[in-house]
Structure 1
Amino acid sequence: MAEEENQDVFLQENEVEEVVNQDENEMEQDFEENEELDQDQGAGGYHSVMDHSVQGFFEHKDSVFCVSMNPVKTNICASGGGDDLAYIWDITNGEQVCQLTGHKDSVVSVGWSFDGNYVATGGMDNQIRVWKSESGVEFITATETTDEVVWLSWHPKGLFLAAGCNDGSVWMLSMPSGKVVQVFYGHTAPTNAGKFIPPGVGKRLATVDDMGTLIVWNPATGDSECRMTGDDHRFDPGNEETSAGWTSFDSNGDGNVLFLGGSSGKVKVVNINNNYILASLETQRESVEAITLCPVLPICACASVDGTVALYDSSSLKFRRSLYHGQPVIDCVFLPKSPYLLTACADCTIRKWDVRSGQLLGEYTGHQEPILCMSITADGKRVISGSDDTELLVFDCEN
């Protein structure tokens, strides 16, 4: 994993910790003004909706838990679900390319290597399974871990795959051999999220768990370079009444600053080079399910079960605004090289926002039950979503 020159420092180390709270009266007023978003929406949004999809895939027989677009072939998608199966399929015609079998329980994570030639699946049966799809589809390896697989993350420049498990262990495999090259032990609770950082380089591997611990690993040696826990009350994602863990995170372009979302709604901003807590952002009320940083503007988006997406200035760490949804927001992702944010909501709707103004630009419907996952094509033209209704739908997000 070759070293690359560091870019400009994202935040200065001498910045003081700051707690950001949105005024409670302002929040109550905003929620009241947006209550109409809940009208005519039954539990889970089960009502007659207009179908805006341009294509779909309907082979799954149970809830679709994960979906991932090939980063090179913009028409090829992989998905996994509660039917213990994963599929590779074509989003242009909805046809099945290959059924990926071998799991004995739900497939909860799926992902492609940076070159688009390998696809991996992780299941509740403790298995990591990998296929090569360069020309045709060839099974490569199956690795039995020590507990249910929670997440997968491919290295952004190499053929290394990381996976986090329910027992806190983190595994790293090398392709094409399929050999386990590292098993990281350090978490004592389920690892809820993990990824190689910084984006596009992957010098380090960051992982977070359900007890509020962050560990940054050296992938080559297996050593931990940074460890922060809830024993430091300033870093604790919970509050006086309840304990909490970290559910999601994202890093800046240099990989030295992480934005971590907690199950209580708190977001902590930390410099992992010196274990310095830069800010505690406390605008949202419930679990932060996804965090993403805008590729063209200093804006961080945090999607929460409380039905909001909070936008912060990722340089000054000041609260900007909330984007209101009728029900829990499951995921959020920026379109490539743009200020446009897509959000996936439990009300069965994907929405497109301009984060500069907070304007709602579009709504894409078609699912009959809550959306559980989404992925965008590498060119940013289409979004694919999976749902409790067992369907995957393709939407044109340019309109």
Structure 2
Amino acid sequence: MADEQLAHEPEVEHGEGLVLTNDDVEVDVTESAEAPMDEDGNAEQDAGDDDQMEFQDDSIAAFYAHRASVFCVSLHPRFPDPPIAVSGGEDDRAWLWNTIDGTEIAQLSGHSDSVVAVAFSHDGEMVATGGLDGRVRVWRRHGDGWHTWEFLTNLEGPSEVVWLTWHPKGPVLVAGASDATVWMWQLPSGNTMNVFSGHTGSVTCGRFTPDGRKLVSASDDGSLIVWDPRSAAVLAKVADDDTRFALDGGITSLCISPDSRLVVVGGAAGGVRVVSVANLDTTGGVSVVGMLNGHAEGESVESVEFVDLVPAASTGPFSGPTSRTSTHIVSAGTDGKAIAWDLTTGKARGEALHDAAITKLVVHPHTPLFTTSSVDHLIRTFDARSMQTVGVQHGFTDGVLDVAVGVDDGITQGAETGGVGAYAHATPPKGYKLVGAGDEGVALVFRLQ
């Protein structure tokens, strides 16, 4: 994984010394001094020849209860102990299930339209589901084990829920809605803490800063707002009337640096913007410090994430920022491209490809690895240092709509039976497990070999 050639690359902690200028960052991939690297020779060269291809299934477990498109999936923050996933779908239901054998733990019902967002609280004691019916429903663990969950409360207010996120340090839940509002509740009481109004279009994405002190949201109206979560006051707003920030079609994705000083947004028409919020607590100003152009024009940037090029010494169950440094990101779009960017130079390090639109990108915490799901039926894992393929997972017969990554628990099962069979504890664990959500109505579990 290109360890030797990058052994002398220095690590920059928390963006110290990061200086971005307009000349540095306003570039196109084709102008990058470091040309994108090609994918390795193990790519699916015959993907278009259906007559000569045999169906391949690498999954080690499967969850079949949805029987309709599975839109979202998330793993317990202490995964793999417990080895629990939550998924939501077109069947108006969400489920908690065991990733070892695919058995049901609890059905999370009560929605009257598709469940499009699911999320565990920071400590894993609660789980929330959000639907196109405008409902947010919350369950909590009951008793000493992890196999009994009880319904806690139904939260109403939004029109259609677009996304959910929990506060990184406490039982506070936030939902973004299609009616241009953001709602925040205190749990377990379910009391509404704040309603944030400032966008004029659907609020497409949002997150707390890693320190938990600010809330950031973005909309398809092209605006980015930084909020004070306590008072719902607007601390800063950047809109499409700023020509350096303007993104045709609005904003589709965002991420926040681990030091809470940078916000990166991806646009519906392929652009990526970097915004500094480092001075909010002093001068109160924000500034656009990066314009990254590399995705195909008119293709949506579905995910952006910060990534570490120098891996941590150890891995384990993790809840919190997925990177330690604020100098590199990866973006992924419906053009099938994943692009690694160096924010200190504003240039692309390289790119990797799917044969169709990428639907989600997730970073393996504190490593250079990231995994993508795609409409091409595949899940791929890449190394951001070289953009070479680390693994390809097969098993879906339709598009993969979401993917989650967790630490491998060392439990392996019979792939020849779709994971339904005997399993044994293997030592040591092999790294990571991947869980994908399929448009054909199944969620599959894979091991990254």
Of the candidates 122, 127, 138, which is equivalent to residue 119 of structure 1? Answer: 127
Whether the 8 Å contact between 1:118 and 1:134 is mirrored in structure 2 is: no
Instruction: Work out the percentage of aligned pairs sharing the same amino acid.
Output: 35
Please list, as runs of the form range in 1=range in 2, the aligned pairs for 1:339-354 lying within 5 A after superposition. Answer: 339-354=368-383
Distance 1:266 1:38, change over 3 A: farther
Asked whether the 8 Å contact 1:37–1:326 carries over to 2, the reply is no
1:208 alignment partner, SS class: strand
Give a deviation string over 1:298-341, Cα, whole Å, max 9, x none. Answer: 42110011111011013322111111111111111121221111
Structure 1 unaligned blocks of 5 or more:
1-6, 239-243
* Candidates 280, 292, 295, aligned match of 2:305: 292
TM-score using structure 2 length: 0.80
CA contact (8 A) 1:109 1:150 kept: yes
Is 2:93 the partner of 1:85?
yes
The answer to whether the aligner puts 1:169 opposite 2:184 as a matched pair is: no
Asked if 2 retains the 8 angstrom alpha-carbon contact of 1:305 and 1:328, the reply is yes
SS of aligned partner of 1:138: strand
User: Deviation at 1:216?
Assistant: 0.7
1:301 equivalent to 2:330? Answer: yes
Q: Which among 362, 367, 386 is matched to residue 338 of structure 1?
A: 367
Tell me which of 55, 62, 65 is aligned to 1:56. 62
| Letter aligned with residue 405 of structure 2 | I
- Compared CA separation, residues 48 and 165, structure 1 to 2 (3 A): farther
Q: CA separation in 2, counterparts of 1:60 and 1:305?
A: 25
Q: Residues 148 and 16 (structure 1 numbering): CA distance in 2 closer, same or farther, change over 3 Å?
A: same
Q: What SS class does the counterpart of residue 23 from structure 1 fall into? A: helix
CA displacement, residues 9-43 of structure 1 (integer Å, 9 cap, x when unaligned): 556577336311122899xx999x99x85753389
Q: Name stretches of at least 5 consecutive residues in structure 2 with no aligned partner.
A: 1-12, 280-284, 311-326, 409-430
The reply on whether 1:280 has 2:291 as its aligned counterpart is yes
| Count of residue pairs the alignment pairs up | 383
> Is residue 10–residue 257 contact of structure 1 (8 Å, CA) maintained in 2?
no
Match of 2:352 among 314, 323, 326: 323
Is 2:74 aligned against 1:68? yes
What does residue 428 of structure 2 align with?
A: none
CA deviation vs aligned residue, 1:156-193 (integer Å, no higher than 9, x gap): 11110000000110000111111111110111100000
Tell me, yes or no, if the aligned pair for 2:309 and 2:385 is still in contact at 8 Å: no
Answer yes or no: is 1:143 the counterpart of 2:194.
Answer: no
**What's the RMSD between the two structures over aligned residues?**
2.7
- TM (norm. structure 1) is 0.90
Code of the aligned partner of 1:234 = R
* 1:1-399 alignment, distance < 5 Å: 8-10=14-16, 12=18, 15-16=21-22, 18-23=25-30, 39-41=46-48, 48-74=54-80, 75-135=83-143, 136-197=148-209, 199=210, 201-238=211-248, 244-272=249-277, 273=279, 274-285=285-296, 286-297=299-310, 298-377=327-406, 381-397=432-448, 399=449
Question: Partners of 1:140 and 1:296 in 2: how far apart?
Answer: 41
Give the secondary structure class of the aligned counterpart of 2:349. strand
Distance in 2 of aligned mates of 1:39 and 1:14: 42
**How far apart in 2 are the matches of 1:359 and 1:13?**
28
**What amino acid sits opposite 1:370 in the alignment?**
G
Question: What is the DSSP-based 3-state SS (H/G/I as helix, E as strand, rest coil) of the residue aligned with 2:395?
Answer: coil
d(CA) in 1 for partners of 2:79 and 2:30?
46
d(CA) in 2 for partners of 1:281, 1:25? 11
* Separation in 2, partners of 1:90, 1:159: 24
CA contact (8 A) 1:38 1:326 kept: no
